Amino acid sequence: MKKMVLISLIVGVSIVFFILAMLPLGWMLITSLKGSKEILQYPPSFVPSNITIENYLNLFKESNFAVYLKNSLFVATCVVIITNTISTLGAYSLCRFNYSGKQIITVTSLLGYMIAPMMIVIPFYMVMRFFEVANTHIALILAHTAFCFPFALWLMKSYLADIPLELEKAAKVDGANQWQTLIYVVLPLCTPGITAVSIFTFILSWNDYVFARILITSDVLKTIPIGIEDIYNGTVVDWGMLMAAGIVVTLPVLAGFIVINKVLMKGWGYSGLKA
Amino acid sequence: MKNALKKNFFPIALILPSVILIGTLTIFPIFYNVYLSFYQKHAFLNVQKFVLFSNYTSLLSDAEFWDSFKNGIIYSLSTIFLQIALGLSCALLLNEKFKGRNFFRGALLFPYLIPTIVVVILWKWLLNSSYGLIRYLMEVLHITSEPIVWFSEENIMLTLILVSVWQFFPFVLVTILARLQTIPEELYNAAKVDGASAFSRFIHITLPQLKNVLLTIILLRSIWMFTKFDTVWLLAGSESIGKYIQTLPVYTFRKTFIYLEAGAGAALSVVMLAILLSGTIIYIRAFMNKEDALK
């Protein structure tokens, strides 16, 4: 009996928190499906009287949103590929070998993780302008890599540390050299680590505002956060269109995330997790 | 020397790209930042003047600097406290076994994953004084009769804190939850057998186990909230009420990209970095053992 009360209480409070977190997003979805007149009604309606997708259509017709999506996707993907490759190799080196300078690198990567983007924005901007590559995707990719990489290295190192040494020893006994051991034995086992790093890096790059705002000035190169901000700062605030933009940007992230939930939970508490 | 290089070729080859990356993209900019701070440099034009410490000394008498610093402290402390409170409670709840638990876990992470611009625009819409859902809910629940102007001088800091807590508490939640999951069931069972109440089990088992995670989270969130730019700037930083929530990162941004004084902006970044580093060192010395800190 007591247990029942406790469980109902827990479920009840969980539902409250759930509502707190999700209500805004649900409202974003509902608003995006309303016509412009109905959006500005007060008291607001919870169920749209006419569900319409005109906001979504307008979003793609009246603005360059499709281009912004493509740009964000391109930049984020490049950052993920670069970060994953270099961090996996580097993490393996840090994990399995000893050499002077190893400690410095580890500590530096940790510090790099803590130092927020704000610390390197100004010099980054100045250097990019100096080489006249500021308004390019390359500059943005480098910028995102700058603040994603230290954490990626740290995370991969933790994952690799969990891979048992015996497998590599067995490979060496079978005559594999260091490169072969790395590529054929270790890398396939890295999948959870690579997945976690990819997700973190993708989200960080996808959501970046500061570097994109400062570096990119041409409309065709803008990424989503900047594109949405500029839509918001347009002549009249079109709430329906903005809510539609929010949904388009958010739903894939949500879907992808719920699917990979388990892997991510393992990543966050990599020290021996029992789900 | 040659032998050492030969022996270590493989690991060095592997770590070299990482070192180059961190060196050029993180370390170099920090040093260049310091270098820039000794100049009065125009952000766009190639005009500069060596002034050594004058960018720093002028900060001491700069009222806007101290205001921003103060706002930053208020902002970080309030948001951290609330994030931890909310995150910890949710984590404790989600640690219990019940149906649909995994779904809740995924869903509650949500606010953290959305781009800040979407968070801000969504909340501007929710808190809209004329059409916002929040206004409607507060009236229906009879909390207030007059609509609250969330984006006013008096309320803007509160609004900023609430939006920030909503956006970032999932990070605390997930981190604490992951750690909670690793606490062995036996500890609780043994305590139950000895007759300990739920509250007592929390104080004597859960909290000590969480101590390191909590200390680390508090440190990390403090650093990140103090240097948070996006949420503050996008909520109201560029408008007139912005001065009531201007934090150091926002001041740095405005100084560099609106007043076009890149040298002064660089000095501000260096000062922020110094504050963070000293704060971190003091914190770690006071509260954590070195081994735990490096985990």
Profile chain B (295 residues) by mean pLDDT over runs of 10 residues.
Answer: 70 88 89 89 80 87 92 94 90 79 78 92 91 86 81 90 94 88 84 81 84 88 91 87 90 91 91 89 79 49
Q: Give the pLDDT score at A273.
A: 34
The pLDDT tens digits of the residues spanning A116-137 come to 677 889 999 988 888 888 889 9
Residues of A in contact with B103 (CB under 8 A): 258
Condensed to tens digits (0 to 9), the pLDDT of residues A54-89 reads: 999 988 988 889 999 999 999 999 999 999 999 999
Instruction: Specify whether the CB–CB gap between A184 and A168 falls below 8 A.
Output: no
The Cα A171–Cα A168 span in angstroms is 5
pLDDT tens figures, B119-158 = 999 999 999 888 888 888 888 888 777 788 888 888 899 9
Token readout for A271 is 């020290």
A161-207 pLDDT, tens digit each: 888 888 888 888 888 787 777 787 788 888 878 888 888 899 889 99
H or E segment and range at residue B176:
helix B156-180
The dihedrals phi and psi of B48, each to the nearest 5 degrees, come to -150, 160
B184: Cβ–Cβ under 8 A, 6 or more apart, which residues?
none
pLDDT in tens, B217-255: 998 899 889 999 999 999 987 888 888 899 999 999 999
CA distance A250 to B113: 8
Contact A90 B170 (CB under 8 A): no
Percent of chain B residues past pLDDT 70, beyond the cut: 96
The conformational region for residue B195 under phi > 0 = left, psi -120 to 50 = alpha, else beta, is: left
Any idea what DSSP says for residue A1?
-
Per-residue model confidence (pLDDT) at position A158: 84
Q: How far, in Å, CA of B47 to CA of B59, rounded?
A: 21
What is the mean pLDDT of the segment spanning A220-227?
A: 92
Hunting for tokens 């130092």 — which residue is that?
A115
CB-CB contact of B258 with B186 (8 Å): no
Please judge whether A42 and B136 are an interchain contact, meaning their C-beta atoms are less than 8 angstroms apart. Answer: yes
Give the closest of B125, B256, B265 to A239, CB-based: B125
From the list A18, A87, A242, the residue facing B107 with the nearest CB is A18
Question: Region A4-31: what's the mean pLDDT?
Answer: 82
Q: Which residues of chain B neighbour A93 with C-beta distances below 8 Å?
A: 10-12, 14-15, 18
Per CB-CB distance under 8 Å, the chain A contacts of B11 are: 93, 96-97, 99
Instruction: Name the residue of chain A whose CA is nearest to B140's CA.
Output: A43
- Kindly list the residues from chain A whose CB atom is less than 8 angstroms away from the CB atom of residue B133: 27, 44
Q: Are B25 and B241 in contact (CB under 8 A)?
A: no
Dihedral angle of Cα B256, B166, B74, B69, to the nearest 10 degrees: -10
Determine whether the interchain pair B94/A14 forms a contact, defined as Cβ–Cβ distance below 8 Å: yes
**What is the three-class DSSP state of B293?**
helix
| pLDDT for residue A242 is more than 50 | yes
Asked whether the beta carbons of residue B181 and residue A275 sit closer than 8 angstroms, the reply is: yes
Instruction: Flag whether the pTM goes above 0.90.
Output: no
Give, in order, the Cα–Cα distances in Å from B191 to each of A113, B3, B202, B206, B211. 39, 58, 10, 11, 19
pLDDT score at A190: 82
Tokens representing A118 are 């704000």
The pLDDT score that the predictor gives to residue A271 is: 38
CA nearest to B18, candidates A86, A97, A105: A86
Mean pLDDT across chain A, nearest whole number? 84
pLDDT score at B2: 65
Confidence of residue A270 (pLDDT cuts 50, 70, 90): very low
* A213, B237 Cβ separation under 8 angstroms: no
* Cross-chain residue pair B276–A122, CB shorter than 8 Å: no
Cβ-Cβ contacts under 8 Å between A and B: the total is 261
Give the integer Cα–Cα distance in Å for A195 and A158: 14
Instruction: Measure Cα distances from A192 to A11, A19, A35, A186 in Å.
Output: 31, 31, 43, 12
A31–B125 CB contact, under 8 Å: yes
CB A157 within 8 A of CB A91: yes
Inter-chain residue contact B117 with A228, CB threshold 8 Å: yes
Question: Which of chain A's residues have a Cβ under 8 Å away from the Cβ of B230?
Answer: 209-210
Residue A90 Cα, gap to closest chain B Cα (Å): 4
- Locate the chain B residue with the closest alpha carbon to A88: B14
Other C-beta atoms closer than 10 Å to the C-beta of A134 total 18
Query: In this predicted model, which residue has the larger pLDDT, A239 or A48?
Result: A239
Gap from A227 CA to chain B (nearest CA, Å): 10
- Angle in degrees, 0-180, between the axes of helices B9-22 and A102-114, rounded to the nearest 10: 30
Strand partners, B41: B48
Rounded CA-CA distance B281/A55 in Å is 51
> Which of A11, A19, A97, A118 to probe the B interface (max B CBs under 10 A)?
A118
From chain B, pick out residues whose CB is under 8 angstroms from the CB of A257. 106, 109-110, 113
Over residues A12-40, the mean pLDDT reads 86
Buried b (16+ CB within 10 A) or exposed e, A72-94: bbebbbbbbebbbebbbbbbbbb
Determine the pLDDT at residue A244. Answer: 93
Interface probe for B, chosen from A119, A130, A259 (most Cβ of B below 10 Å), is: A119
Contact at CB, A118 and B227, closer than 8 angstroms: yes
- Do B123 and A24 count as a contact with CB atoms less than 8 A apart? yes
User: Which is nearest to A72 in space by CA: A207, A191, A183?
Assistant: A207
**Of A214, A240, A204, residue with least CA distance to B257:** A214
